[in-house]
Amino acid sequence: MNYSQNKHKFLQNEQLFWHTELVKSGVDYHQAAKVAQILAEKKPDELLTEEEIKLTKEVCAAWLRQHNRLTSISRALE
């Protein structure tokens, strides 16, 4: 496997990871797919559109709320 194929496979794995995490926490499937791609590509903010930045912030905030909620519940059950 050459560098290009390895990089492509790595990006696919990263994208799948982020998509799965976002969907598991209740993010819309299609929004999660877009944000997963953005996160996997690790582009600097300067290369993202305002729409991409806004969507990413909204989706990540939703993920964080759900993550904190689940952490709180988990602690309460200990």
pLDDT per residue as tens digits for the range 9-37:
888 999 999 999 999 999 999 999 999 99
pLDDT at 3: 74
Per-chain mean pLDDT for the chain:
92
Helices and strands in the chain: count of H runs, count of E runs: 3, 0
Given pLDDT bands bounded at 50, 70 and 90, which one contains residue 8?
A: confident
Tokens of 52: 């991409």
* In the predicted structure, residue 1 carries a pLDDT above the cut 70: no
Residue 53 · residue 39 · CB < 8 Å:
no
* pTM of model > 0.85: no
- Structure-derived torsion over alpha carbons of residues 19, 22, 26, 27, reported in degrees to the nearest 10: -80
